[in-house]
Every structure is written in structure tokens, then in C-alpha cells.
A and B are shown apart, each in its own frame.
Chain A
Amino acid sequence: MRSGEKQITLLIIFLSVALIYIARLFYLQVIDTSYVYFAQNNVLQEQTIYPARGLIYDRNGELLVYNDAIYDLSVIPEQVKNLDTLAFCNVLNLTKEEFIATFARLRRQKGYSPWRPIVFQRQITIPTYAAFQEKLYDFQGFFVEVRTDRKYKHSNAAHVMGYIGEVSEKQIENSNGYYRMGDFVGQSGVERTYEKVLGGVKGTRYVLVDSKSRTQGRYKNGEFDTAALAGKNIHLTINLKLQQLGEALMKNKIGSIVAIEPSTGEVLSLVSSPTYDPNLLVGRERGNMYMQLLKDPYKPLFNRPISAPYPPGSIFKVIMSLMGQQEGVLTPATSYGCHGGYLFVGCHPHGSPLQLRGAIAVSCNAYFCQVYRSVVNNPKYKHVEDAYQKFYDHAYSFGMGHQLGIDLFGEGPGVLKKSTYFDKIYGRYRWQALTTISMGIGQGELGITPLQMANATAAIANKGYFITPHIVKKIDNKSNPNPSFNKKNWTSVDTGYFQVVIDGMQDVVEHGTAYIARIPNITVCGKTGTAQNPHGKDHSVFFAFAPKENPKIAIAVFVENAGFGATWAAPIASLMIEEYLTGKHETRKYLLDRMLNADLIKRNDSTSAKAK
């Protein structure tokens, strides 16, 4: 090879390398566009702007829930320099060991980067925040981030409002990527059902970050940013004053109160007792408090009024009276004698025989067993199953045995068995009214939630229809946010049959079992119930509406294992009605005090001890 050729050989090598590199560059820069995307991924960071959550008011505009600033202490570990650990621990009230342990925990966290801000301590108290702010200069690398959390102005209606908590993985999955780990959403109550309304819409801000995730500026001057949309405010149908009284009355008692405005289906009060202070479920102790409430044997987190099925007891007799008439097996003049009971169903002493109105007033067991028998063993139908189906349909039309569709999370269906259920137990055609006779007086295979009971009361007050109970009155100050809550749901009982029953309920209060529930100048119609149950003493039950003409409030009260309906449930309901209609308890101070002060939980304890 001559020297000239060697020179050319070298030149060819140079040129081939250049060409290979140019080809490679052409591939990287022109053909393969994925690198542009990777580069954007590198520098573009999507930051979420959290909207303010909507506020919640009661029906009269009284503020219930608002947002409170909370302070998170964050740290960029890389920037921590010359930290006076002792002073730092003093301000935060930490021991040195805790300090070290916290840092170790942070380091183990997924996605830890010493250049990225990370929360060192969540929700420091305001005094700590103040003390910290003073010495901020000494603690390089640490800073305080302000977020908002829910704050409850009153400690009432915890079960209605619910609480917010971090999203679960399932919720993240179902949200199509809207929710991110660590977001807070409503987990129960109105916070949950109206999450979309209250939660608003998150905004996004695109920022440029460097390789250590430090913000370097806005991406294209915020051209692609979206603003956060604040959540809308909600007005509940709840009347705060009524709710407060209800909770006070139910203090130291287990049970529920549901009050509904019959003409609109608006829930005026929804008391679940024992209740809890909703402020326990916010802030840094949220988790601990939640576990504590969960462990409480009286289950304060359990939303009794909408999910607990109780045997209705005697108040079901009212429903029986209505369906008997509709089925044509009962007239107001029908009279049955009471011989201290019916078969194995006992009865208390009262005048006999009685017509329908009187039977309601004294709550005669025998009478309603007869009514039940005549409905279910109705000769009009070939089989008992067909007649029972009528019973089922009527009860169903009053809202029993299924969810009413209230705008709260966790509503229970109650218990109302189909005929096939009894077929399974006794065999087809092998059972009849007497087999299930206790259902005639609201016992046996019946379970009804306080909400369903209040709703049925509203239906009676409306003489034949109810409006689905609901809890939200206004969204963003606009009334009637959900038009489906305007519809009248007609029961299967004609309007004409209601009058005698209502008269009977009036008698109950005027001179019947619930004399104690009488309110001066107001005609209250009600019915007591004393529901036998497998858990101990009878449940004290009462439902009522008032005033008789133009009813303004329908109410159902359940006090668990408290005894006669007339002893506890009736006075409580009566006081509630009085509160709502007059706002005063001048003539019945003694009754109010007695109800407020009664401690049935402890008393129950003593009776159960005696039983042992």
C-alpha cells in the first residue's frame, strides 16, 4: 500500500465514522420522535391545584362545615445544613430518637429524593407553627406548607355530614385517574354523596423542573394550565336547632330520631345515638380517633337511622289498618273482641270489643292479629301466597323492604320478606296467616329503619303519598337541586282510608297509650310501639306527625332496649315536635329535663347485670 493510498484509507475511515454518526443523529433527532416525549417527561411536572371544598350550611343558613388552614412541616433534606437538632426538637417537642426515626422513615419512603420537599410532620399545631416560624431562619431546609382541612362549627349531625379521608386504591381506580394517592375525598355522609359538588375540580399547573426536581419556572407561561374550580356550597335540609335538641335528648341513650317535613320529604333531623364529634375525624389524630370510635362497643360510627333495621312493633298496626281497609277485609266499623290476646300473642288489659279507631288508640294486639289473618288468609285469593303478596306490596309501597334512595351513603333496605321466603321454610302452600301472625303487630320477619318509619309516617300525614326523603336543600344557593326529589310516590292505599287511622292516632295521643306526648294547642297524631327484640329489653318506639291538619313534621323515634314506647320514645318525639313547631317548652320543662338527663345506657347495664 502506497503512502497516498494510506492517506485515503484514513480519510475514508474518518468519513465513514462521520456518516455513521450523521445517520445515527438522523435516527435520533428526526425519525424517532419518542425522545421529544421523554424530554418533556423529564422537565415537565404536573402540579395539582386543590380547589377549596364547598361549605355546608343547615336549612336556615347556619354554617356547619368550613375549611380550616392546617400547617404541614416539610423539609428538603438536601438543604438541611447546620441544623441545631436540640433546638429543633425542642420547638417540635420531639426527642432526639424520634427525630432520627422520622428521618429514617422518610428516607425509606417510595420516591424519596433529597432534593424534593417531603412532609416531615403533618399538621403541626398553631402554637408550634408560631414558635417554628420565629426560628425558621435557623432551620434551613425546613418550611411550613399550608393546606386546608375540614372544620365543623358545631359538633352535631356527624352522621349526616360524614367525614373526608384519603382516597382508597379502589376509589383511585374508579376515578379514571382523577384522584391521586393522598387526595382527600368524602368517605361518608353528605361529604361522600355530594363529593362531586363539594370537591370542585382540581386544577393543573405545569412547571419545569430540573434533574433534581427543583422548580425552574412555568411551562410556556402557563398556557396549558387549568384553574381549579372551587367546590359548591350546600344547604342541608337539616334544622340545626332541632338536630341539637334531638342529640341532647338522645344523649346516654342508644337509638335514632328521624324527622321529615311531609310535604317536601326534607329531612329535618337525623339523629344517631351515640354520636361523635365530627371534629375528631379531622387533623393529625384522624386515624387514631377513627380506630377508637370503631372499637367503641356502642358503635358511634354506625349510622343507625338509615341503616339499622328494627322490629317496628305496634306502630306497624297503623299500616295494617290501612292495608286491611284497602283489601276490603276491614272497615272502620269492624270490631273484634280481645280476650287478653290472640293465640300465643298476649295483650294488655283494655276495654273490649273495639272498633278500628279504638283498637289503634289502645293498641290491641288481638285486633291486629285478626286484621293480619284476614288480609293474608283472604278467601278472595286462591293461595295464601297471593294474599301475602298483597301484604308485601302494600308494605313496600310505604317504603319498607327497600332503600328509599336518600342522598346519604349506607342506607339499609330493612327487612320485608317475600312469600317465597316462607315457602322455603314451610313449603309451598304449607303456611298461612297464623304461621306468621306476629307480623300483624310488627314483630317477626319485619325490620324497618327509622328513616323508613318516618317516611311511612309522612305518607300517612300526606294521606297516601310520600316524597323520597332527602338531605340537601340547595346547591350553590339554588333550590331544588335534584328534581327527582319532587315526585309524589303514591302508596297502594287510597286516600279515603287514611282519615279513620289518623283519627285513631290522634286518640293515641289525646287519651290513648301516648298521653304523655300531648302538646298544648297542637294536635299530635302518633302511635307507640314496644318492640320485642332478641337483644334485651323492648325497644321504645314512637312515630307521630303534627299538626293533624296541614302536617309540618313527621317523626320516628327509636330508643333501643328502653322499654315501653310511651315511656321514652313518645316524650322525646313530642318534645322534638314542640321544638320544631313552637321553639319553646314552657309548660313541659320537667319532661324536657327528665328526658335530657335520663341515662339509659347505664341503666341498661344494671338491668342486664340483674338478668345475669
Chain B
Amino acid sequence: MSGLDLSISPGERVLLLGASGAGKSTLIHALAGVLGGEDEGEQQGQLLVAGRPAEQSRGRVGLVLQDPDSQVILAKVGDDVAFGCENLGVARDEIWRRVHESLTSVGLNLPLDHPTNQLSGGQKQRLALAGVLAMRPGLVLLDEPTANLDPDGVTEVRDAVGSILTDTLSTFIVIEHRVDVWLELVDRVIVLEPGGGVLADGTPREVLTRHGASLAASGVWVPGRTPAAPQRVPFESTQLVLASDLTIGRRGMPIQAHLDIALSSGRSLAVTGPNGAGKTTLGLTLAGLLPPVSGTLDASGLARGLPPAPIAWKSRDLVSRIGSVFQDPEHQFVTGSVREELAVGPRAAKVAPAEIARRVDEVSSRLRLDRLLAVNPFTLSGGEKRRLSVATALVSAPPLLVLDEPTFGQDARTWAELVQLLAELLNAGRSIVSITHDAAFVDAIADDELRITRQLVSA
């Protein structure tokens, strides 16, 4: 990004928008003074925080990042909040006073020695916020703080920010592509132009009325501009998988029991429910990756000559029968380029090289990855990684797809593309299981919904 002129005054609450790649995160990191040295990029012009260069403002500016797991620093809640104060050289008595105060103001009423690894995503983000508040910053920066959270977590964090605004904190800048989450709390919206400069700057109402359409087109979730639901055509379906009295779990420890599920071609099942209820475990079991604890999982409709239980299939047989898309795409990448990544599945299934090349071309252009074929998967953006992980499953043409949180943290554009693509697959007779928290996604493509609750089985 370049050529940006911007001034933010004390007391302003700013929502920073822009298409992905417009430099929102870079600006926020620069303001926090953690952009890195000269070896990591070039810098021109001036960035002053309270009249001083931003690099000197570390600690006076608080930063909360997107990933809850990589922000927890210490093992106990109290120690984690105290960490920033220690670095600023605050006296011991004052540190514990602030720790107590900050935890209260973000609503984390937990013992100080509560283990941080037992916190939910929303609690971890509030912990990070408390750690930042304890440093008494003049400015707090929030870099997509709710993108990795389920709906309850989003509300928790937003409410925590809302409640500190009234007493301790006056100025903050938040990046978020879901506008509706922050609309009530901000009084200024700035839209960055890709490449540099400011596209729009004003009150939320002004900016959203004037630029709503173009913002929505660039991927921002603008309230009232939900992407249109795709067309579905009825399909005469046959049963592919039947689970009867299924108990699922890990390493023999049951999480859910007595599940009866039928999956059919051309139909889409959404699995919903709270975190920890076993949704991901169910997905992995249906996908033939985890053995059922008990009960039967009969995938005769997919087996084509193999035994009915998918856990008994070889990995190379599985890939052309059931496609899995994990919640974290990075867990699934096994090669150094997008092209290689797409070829892995078909090659394992012994598809002819010419046919592999054809499929790679087709799937990559369908998912807008054709310009990225030489790129390393780990360096892609969040939306591109998601598209690639879906593409790697599609390229083996499995009749059943199991998707874990396919729309998590995606901008409106990627979301709409995914939903459109999945609808086409359903129209063509594929079966889709999606584990999701996303109500709009369920509305858009689910034929059936399986809501599982936190009903732990007594062993």
C-alpha cells in the first residue's frame, strides 16, 4: 500500500474496511509498531501515534489479533493478563490491581490460576483484550478479532468491547468484514482502496449508503446485502450412506451416541450445534477417517466393490469416494504448489496423467485458482486457501463431500462463490455434509439439518 493520508483523533471508534489485499492488516500492524524491520519490507512517509513514531509506541497501542490460539502467552489466566504490565515495568501491586480490573471489565470472572488452554475461542479473545487493557493503552487495534469464532464467541467479544468503551477505552480501530457486528459501536468507517489511498471515509450511514454495493462486491458483508441464494433443481436421489445407532468418539471415548443418519445423492445435510458437542468428530467418522465407537456405518452406496464400512477402505480408494475439507486448510496441504496439490488425489487413485491435467485445469478455473497454479499453498490468502482445499477434494470427483466449517472467516464474495458451487454440485447429484455455525449457509443450501447438543454420553 502507498500514498495513504489519514488522521484519527482521540475518542474516535473506527471500522476499517477494504477488499482483501487492500492493506488493512499492514496498516494495523504498523500502528502497533510490530511491522518488522527494514529486512521485511520498505517504508516511506510518516506514521505518528500521539505525536511519536509508531515503533516507539509499542505498549501504548494495544493489539488484538485474529487467531485466538496464538495470542495466549502464559499458562494461567492471571499471569497472561499480567504479562504486558510486566514488560512495561509496572509495579507488582499495581499489576495485580489492573489484572483484576481488566478481567472484570471484559467479563471473564475466572480464578486467576484458571488454565488458559481450557478457554473457549471467545474467552481467549477476551483474555487477549484484558491483557491489552491492563497496559492502559491510548488506542486499541482489533485485527479481525471475531473471524475465527462461533456466533456465541462473536457476541461475547463484541459485548466485551462495548462494555469497556463506556468506562476505560475511548479510541479503537477494528478491521472486520462482517459490518453488522460492529456497526453499533463505531462512529466512523474508513474504506481503503487496494493499492493505496482512501476510497471512502465518513459516518457508517454515509459510507454504507454511498458505497454499499461496491463494498459488497469486494467481499465486505454489508447489512441488508446478503448474497442471493442459488437455484436448486430437484434430484431423484439414492441412498449412499446409512448410519444406524452410531456412537462416535476419539480413541474409544464416546462423545455422541445413538445417531441415525442417512446421506443421499443430490441432498445436503447441515450438522449444527455448540462447540465441543462432537460435530467435527462426526464429520471425520462419516468421512471414513475415524472408526465409529459402536453402531454401524454402511456406505454400500459408495463402496463400488469394497466392504461397506469406509474406515476399512484404503486411503487411495477413499479419495475418489468421499472428499473431506478440514476446518484448517493448512492441515491438508502436502505439496509446494497449487498445481501439485490438485494432482495429489487423482494421482493416488491412479487416474491417467492426461485426465489429471484436464481435471486440474477445469477445477482450478472454476475456483479462480488458475492464476495461482505455481504458488505455494501456504502463502495463499485465507479465501484462496479455502478455495484450494475445496478444489483438492472436488478434483477426485467423490460422490460425497464432507466439509468442516467451509464458510468460517470467509468474506462475502468467497462465501457466495462457495454456496453457488455447492448448489451446482448438489444439482449434479453429489451428496454434501457440512458442519457449520453459519445460519445463512444452512438457509442457502441445507436440505436437512442435524442439530447435535452437548449431550455427553455416560461411559
A and B are partners in one complex rather than unrelated chains: no
Which residues of A does B touch, CB under 8 Å?
none
